Amino acid sequence: MAVWSYNDCINHARGNNIALRQSILSEESAAISLEKAQGEWQPSLDFGTNQGYSNAPWSNGSSNAYTSNYNLNASWTVWDGGKRESAIRRGKTDVERSRYATDNTLRNIRTEILSAYKAIRYE
Within a domain: 106: yes
Domain region containing 38? 6-44+80-122
Instruction: Please indicate, yes or no, if residue 68 is contained in any of the structural domains.
Output: no
Rounded-to-integer distance, Cα 76 and Cα 104, Å: 41
The answer to the question of residue 55 being in a domain is no
Closest CA to 109 of 26, 19, 22, 25: 19
Would residue 65 count as lying in a domain? no
Number of domains within the chain: 1
Please check whether residue 19 lies inside any domain of the structure.
yes
Query: Does residue 87 sit within a domain?
Result: yes
Q: Is residue 50 part of a domain?
A: no
Q: Is the pLDDT of residue 122 over 90?
A: no
Say if residues 104 and 24 touch (Cβ distance below 8 Å). Answer: no
Tens of pLDDT, residues 10-43: 999 999 999 999 999 999 999 999 999 999 889 9
Is residue 11 included in any domain, yes or no?
Answer: yes
pLDDT of residue 123: 75
